[in-house]
């Protein structure tokens, strides 16, 4: 962007000036970040370390905790995967096809970002309950959705959907239709065109979207706590378990499970960064 001559000029002409004024934004950035973000993380880590390895391990692998991880991570993964398929379809339809009301539908995909999580939980609990608009369709078959693990799943699907659609849309928009048409004209079947031409460049963004949605679903609290019954070994998720431990003033227990969740999120962040770099290689 800037060539080296510009760079040297900026160094020599007003470099000194800049050094004097740089300090205000730099100071604000680092002091604020330390106080608001790094200090709290340090507090969690140090509390964890103060418990000692064996105590940490005992709480982190207790039966309640293990079942809570299971409900959280497995359900979140299932929600992210189904959105990996359906969100891809939604993004595809929004980019490639026209239908009445498309603009409105496109804008409404962001609803889960815009609706507060407790509102989402309240309305999902109502709509998917036995007497709710959607729940009553399933009730005759003996399927209960709200206040069961299925309810947790529905809430996680709701909040993770936009991540997949919004990650995929720009990639689909930039994909040139000509490539697809070239494959067609060279005699590829529609099956071959899809699996050999269309899908490969879409795999990294789909996986990125799934990972982003999964990460969000794992940390979700507000909507799940309302739509589930939060009974241990049934539909209790790890964030709700942290909250319950805090309510019982069990700071140690809350810290350990919170740390496990934090480490999980950090690991996911690394995975997402890796996926994004993989996707960029495709785009180049």
Does 32 sit near other proteins (CB under 8 A)? yes
Binding part of the chain for other proteins, among 21-29, 52-60, 140-148, 196-204 by CB under 8 A, reads 21-29
Q: Kindly tell me which residue out of 8, 11, 15, 38 binds other proteins, with binding defined by CB under 8 A.
A: 38
Does 179 sit near other proteins (CB under 8 A)? no
Contacts (CB under 8 A) with other proteins, residues 140-159: 154, 157-158
Q: Kindly tell me which residue out of 8, 11, 15, 21 binds other proteins, with binding defined by CB under 8 A.
A: 21
Please list, residue by residue across 206-223, b when 16 or more beta carbons sit within 10 angstroms of its beta carbon and e when fewer do: bbbbbbbbbbbbbbbbbb
Nearest to 254 by CA among 239, 274, 265, 267: 239
Look at the block and give the residue holding tokens 């180049």. Answer: 284
Contact flags string 193-222 toward other proteins, x per CB under 8 A = ----------------------x--xxxxx
**H helix intervals, 97-237:** 102-108, 111-114, 117-127, 135-138, 149-174, 177-185, 190-192, 199-219, 222-227
Are the C-beta atoms of residues 257 and 59 closer than 8 Å to each other?
yes
Does 107 sit near other proteins (CB under 8 A)? yes
Closer to other proteins by CB, 85 or 203: give it.
Answer: 85
Closer to other proteins by CB, 79 or 149: give it.
Answer: 79
What's the min distance (Å) between Cβ of 241 and other proteins? 9
Q: Judged by CB under 8 A, how many residues of this single chain contact other proteins?
A: 92
Does 169 sit near other proteins (CB under 8 A)? yes
Q: Kindly tell me which residue out of 179, 186, 266, 283 binds other proteins, with binding defined by CB under 8 A.
A: 266
Distant-in-sequence contacts of 215-218, Cβ < 8 A, 24+ apart: 215/265, 215/268, 215/269, 215/272, 216/159, 216/160, 216/163, 217/75, 217/76, 217/79, 217/80, 217/156, 217/159, 217/160, 218/72, 218/73, 218/76, 218/261, 218/264, 218/265, 218/268
Distance CA 66, CA 69 (A): 5
What's the min distance (Å) between Cβ of 103 and other proteins? 8
Are the C-beta atoms of residues 228 and 14 closer than 8 Å to each other?
no
Contacts (CB under 8 A) with other proteins, residues 67-106: 86, 89-90, 92-94, 97-99, 105
Binding part of the chain for other proteins, among 53-61, 196-204, 228-236, 251-259 by CB under 8 A, reads 251-259
Does 59 sit near other proteins (CB under 8 A)? no
* DSSP-assigned letter for residue 202: H
What's the min distance (Å) between Cβ of 76 and other proteins? 11
Closer to other proteins by CB, 183 or 254: give it.
Answer: 254
């Amino acid at each position: 962007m800037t060539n080296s001559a510009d760079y040297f000029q900026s160094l020599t002409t007003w470099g000194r000036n800049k050094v004097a004024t740089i300090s205000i934004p730099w100071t604000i950035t680092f002091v604020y970040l330390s106080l608001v973000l790094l200090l709290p993380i340090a507090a969690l880590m140090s509390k964890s370390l103060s418990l000692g390895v064996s105590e940490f391990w005992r709480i982190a692998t207790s039966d309640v905790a293990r079942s809570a991880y299971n409900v959280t991570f497995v359900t979140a993964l299932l929600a992210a995967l189904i959105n990996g398929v359906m969100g891809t379809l939604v993004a595809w339809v929004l980019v490639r096809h026209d239908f009445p009301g498309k603009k409105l539908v496109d804008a409404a995909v962001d609803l889960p970002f815009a609706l507060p999580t407790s509102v989402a939980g309240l309305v999902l609990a109502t709509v998917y309950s036995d007497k709710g608009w959607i729940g009553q369709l399933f009730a005759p078959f003996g399927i209960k959705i709200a206040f069961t693990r299925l309810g947790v799943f529905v809430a996680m699907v709701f909040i993770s959907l936009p991540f997949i659609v919004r990650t995929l849309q720009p990639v689909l928009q930039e994909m040139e239709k000509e490539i697809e048409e070239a494959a067609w004209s060279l005699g590829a079947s529609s099956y071959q065109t899809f699996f050999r031409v269309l899908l490969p460049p879409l795999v990294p963004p789909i996986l990125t979207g799934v990972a982003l949605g999964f990460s969000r679903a794992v940390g979700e609290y507000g909507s799940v706590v309302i739509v589930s019954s939060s009974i241990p070994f049934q539909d209790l998720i790890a964030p709700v378990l942290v909250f319950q431990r805090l309510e019982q003033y069990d700071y140690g227990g809350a810290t350990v499970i919170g740390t496990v969740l934090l480490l999980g999120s950090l690991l996911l962040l690394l995975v997402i960064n890796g996926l994004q770099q993989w996707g960029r290689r495709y785009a180049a």
